[in-house]
Structure 1
Amino acid sequence: MSSQFELAQNPTDVISAVKFSPTTPTRLLVSSWDRHVYLYDTHSEPGGRLIQKFQHRAPVLDVCFGRNDNEAFSCGLDCDVRRIDLETGKQTVLSTHDAGVRNVIYSPEHSLLISGSWDSTLHIHNVDSPADQHATVSLPSKPFSLSITPTKLVVAMASRAVNIYDLKAVALAVSQSSSEPPNMINVEPWQRRESSMKYMTRAVACMPNDAGYASSSIEGRVAVEWFDPSETSQARKYAFKCHRQTVDGQDVVYPVNALAFHPVHGTFASGGGDGVVALWDGVAKRRIRQYQRFPASVSTLTFSKDGKYLAVGVSPGFEDGQEDMPDGIVKVFIRELSDTEAQGKSKK
């Protein structure tokens, strides 16, 4: 049976990211515009338990776990990339960008922490090396979303540009770089692509089988693509409309703010400005199910590593980070999935 509940102690402003621990399926990090990162145990008591919160100098735009359950990395509008010791609460600034930092992502296979900033750069940190050492990769435009597989890094940017990097090549370039700032390294993308969608990319998420990725736009569309550059594989790519409603006879189109792949079944969830979460089978090109509407825009979502839980961050005014947030509308929901709930329609 599937069931759903709301976390008891929610952030007070827009939720920017929800991330489950890669080792403990009930350990959840949440970052918020209220300048905090929250750490929860989602199942230790009804409504979950807030273990700790960590204050920042400015709105936090992303967070992720690091090498273990007690290490996290965060970034935000203070331009800093931080390491947080979740046990002691100690925060260390690893690097500072020249503009707000939208994404931070950790690659366990290569011990790399990658941050993407609106200054049109990536900072690449080898987390096993001294804290202040990082390399900088210049991008053709602002990054909006990052996603990784064990071998690839996908960077979705403004101007509908998408760069795909080979993580092994990135790790090698970082290891051979100098330790002197600004330490620019020249890593050629493995592939450069143009988004299949006409409008600005909002989110990108990689398939768990390392075969490709899905991306979404501000204009109610999702595209599914494969890494393999062969004509056969590229012919399989497609885009479809979603997160639209007819209101008073008018077609209202919502941004698709969030995407996440199920780690076991390889299906994916999309979350939109319409407050709807839908599950899709990208191979069979079918919607599996759509959940009852949430009380506000879905700003972010993620599956737990074992695929049993789906965390959904709901926030009004997600697009602009409202100053005056009505009480009680910012919420994190935890959905417990049944064994077959996220299973695809395609025949194996």
Structure 2
Amino acid sequence: MADAKEIELETTPTDGIACLSWSPADANHLLVGSWDSSLRLYDTQANQQRAKFDHKAAVLGACFSPSPNTIFSGGLDTWLRMWDLQTEECRVLSSHSRPISSILYLTESNLIATGSWDSTVALHDPRAGQPQISSFEQPERVYHMDAVGNTIVVAMGGRKINIYDVRKMEKPMQERDSSLRFMTRALACMPTGEGFSIASIEGRIAVEYFDTSPAAQAKKYAFKCHRQAVDGNDHVWPVNSLAFHPVHHTFASAGSDGVVSIWDHTAKKRLRQYPKYHNAVNAVSFNKTGTKLAVGVSYGWDKGQEGARQPENGRVSVFVREVGDEVKPKAKA
């Protein structure tokens, strides 16, 4: 059950939540991509589905342009689509040879960046007659991307991480291995531009910094999270999503344990753990003003095929929570 500060959206997808993305122009408009091959636009204030866009396969990535009437999406069918919300017309901008896993709108350059399981990152200009500008080979499949300013962070298979300046994409500024021992499951850049956080399938989060000086690198650290004792045994859950608060620069983590936590990465403290949800939390995202947190809840396949047959695991939910002082960092002594 949602509490007093939280609503559950109506007319939600019929399969797992794959991605959430808020509008940069309207603090109430939310995109939800799903494994049911749909992309849905919600007015969260009115609790109303405004539009539904059907794809040929699961939608793994979506984002708005700065214009409130243009959105982009991609996923298992490999196509990058651009949608006009006024006319609901679709234009296929380009495609990858394998599924698109991540889509970003780069506001500094007005370009679309896509990451794919075909081990490439591509840049697209939606204003051009030939939208795809260029493609850049990566050493592994691209699982996640995020950007701050002109910096793009690419998290890949094999725990590899490439960091690019979008103006000089021919070669990464930095090539790193994740400081976590297991596969990267989530990535988010700090709004301050100082660094990023990554999370793994093994219930850990790492906080890293772009500055390669010894002083800056000494600040990076990792910690355990999303774990619980079950019958005397420590049960470890994947961390599925990370999201930084746009104002206070704390961050939210979401796990397959059904828990969302708020962290102050500077003070190295957990600020809040929200009441547990009915299933795995697959995605979280703050709106542009930081007043709302979207939470996508659905079966995450951690219990395999057998778990998928359980009736309670068929429920798919998107909650929108009003956030308050719990996302503010700890006052320094």
So what's the TM-score if we normalise by structure 1? 0.91
Could you tell me which residue of structure 1 aligns to residue 108 of structure 2? 109
- Work out whether residues 21 and 32 of structure 2, in 8 Å CA contact, stay in contact via their aligned partners in 1: yes
Q: 1: distance between equivalents of 2:4 and 2:300?
A: 29
Could you tell me which residue of structure 2 aligns to residue 180 of structure 1? none
- Work out whether residues 275 and 294 of structure 1, in 8 Å CA contact, stay in contact via their aligned partners in 2: yes
Shift of 1:127: 2.5
Specify the code of the residue in structure 1 equivalent to 2:6. Q
Could you tell me which residue of structure 2 aligns to residue 228 of structure 1? 211
Could you tell me which residue of structure 1 aligns to residue 9 of structure 2? 7
Shift of 1:318: 5.1
Shift of 1:325: 8.6
Could you tell me which residue of structure 2 aligns to residue 332 of structure 1? 318
Q: 1: distance between equivalents of 2:213 and 2:122?
A: 31
For the aligned residue pairs, the C-alpha RMSD in angstroms reads 1.8
Render the CA deviation track for 1:264-301: whole Å, top value 9, x for unaligned: 00000000000000000001100001000011000001
Specify the code of the residue in structure 2 equivalent to 1:219. E
Question: Given the alignment, which residue of 17, 22, 40 partners 1:20?
Answer: 22
Q: How does 1:252-331 map to 2 (within 5 A)?
A: 252-317=235-300, 326=311, 329-331=315-317
Q: 1: distance between equivalents of 2:301 and 2:136?
A: 29
Q: 2: distance between equivalents of 1:264 and 1:325?
A: 40
Q: 1: distance between equivalents of 2:185 and 2:129?
A: 33
Could you tell me which residue of structure 2 aligns to residue 345 of structure 1? 330
Q: 1: distance between equivalents of 2:94 and 2:216?
A: 39
Could you tell me which residue of structure 2 aligns to residue 128 of structure 1? 127
Q: 1: distance between equivalents of 2:21 and 2:301?
A: 18
Q: CA 1:96–1:131 in structure 2 vs 1: closer, same or farther (change >3 Å)? A: same
Q: Say yes or no: does 1:239 pair with 2:222.
A: yes
Any stretches of 5+ residues in structure 1 without a counterpart?
171-186
Any stretches of 5+ residues in structure 2 without a counterpart?
none
Q: 2: distance between equivalents of 1:280 and 1:133?
A: 38
Q: 2: distance between equivalents of 1:279 and 1:131?
A: 42
Shift of 1:159: 0.8
Shift of 1:250: 0.6
- Work out whether residues 112 and 127 of structure 1, in 8 Å CA contact, stay in contact via their aligned partners in 2: yes
Shift of 1:138: 0.3
Tell me, what secondary structure is at the counterpart of 1:40?
A: strand
Flag the structure with more relative contact order, 1 or 2, with Cα contacts below 8 A and sequence separation at least 6.
Answer: 1
Shift of 1:329: 1.3
Q: 2: distance between equivalents of 1:154 and 1:23?
A: 24
Count of aligned residue pairs for this structure pair: 328
Tell me, what secondary structure is at the counterpart of 1:69?
A: coil
Render the CA deviation track for 1:232-273: whole Å, top value 9, x for unaligned: 000110000000010000100000000000000000000000
Shift of 1:93: 1.1
Shift of 1:131: 4.7
Shift of 1:168: 2.4
Could you tell me which residue of structure 2 aligns to residue 179 of structure 1? none
Q: Say yes or no: does 1:158 pair with 2:157.
A: yes
Q: 1: distance between equivalents of 2:150 and 2:59?
A: 27
- Work out whether residues 284 and 346 of structure 1, in 8 Å CA contact, stay in contact via their aligned partners in 2: no
- Work out whether residues 13 and 325 of structure 1, in 8 Å CA contact, stay in contact via their aligned partners in 2: no
Q: Say yes or no: does 1:219 pair with 2:202.
A: yes
Which stretch has the larger CA shift, 262-271 or 127-136? 127-136
Could you tell me which residue of structure 1 aligns to residue 94 of structure 2? 95
Shift of 1:132: 3.5
Tell me, what secondary structure is at the counterpart of 1:102?
A: strand
Shift of 1:323: 7.8
Q: 2: distance between equivalents of 1:8 and 1:325?
A: 22
Shift of 1:100: 1.0
So what's the TM-score if we normalise by structure 2? 0.95
Could you tell me which residue of structure 2 aligns to residue 181 of structure 1? none
Tell me, what secondary structure is at the counterpart of 1:169?
A: coil
Q: 2: distance between equivalents of 1:273 and 1:318?
A: 9
Q: 2: distance between equivalents of 1:294 and 1:318?
A: 16
Tell me, what secondary structure is at the counterpart of 1:199?
A: coil
Tell me, what secondary structure is at the counterpart of 1:127?
A: coil
Specify the code of the residue in structure 2 equivalent to 1:342. V
Question: Given the alignment, which residue of 37, 40, 60 partners 1:38?
Answer: 40
Q: 1: distance between equivalents of 2:240 and 2:198?
A: 10
Shift of 1:326: 4.6
Specify the code of the residue in structure 2 equivalent to 1:19. S
Could you tell me which residue of structure 2 aligns to residue 183 of structure 1? none
- Work out whether residues 29 and 43 of structure 2, in 8 Å CA contact, stay in contact via their aligned partners in 1: yes
Question: Given the alignment, which residue of 207, 210, 216 partners 2:190?
Answer: 207
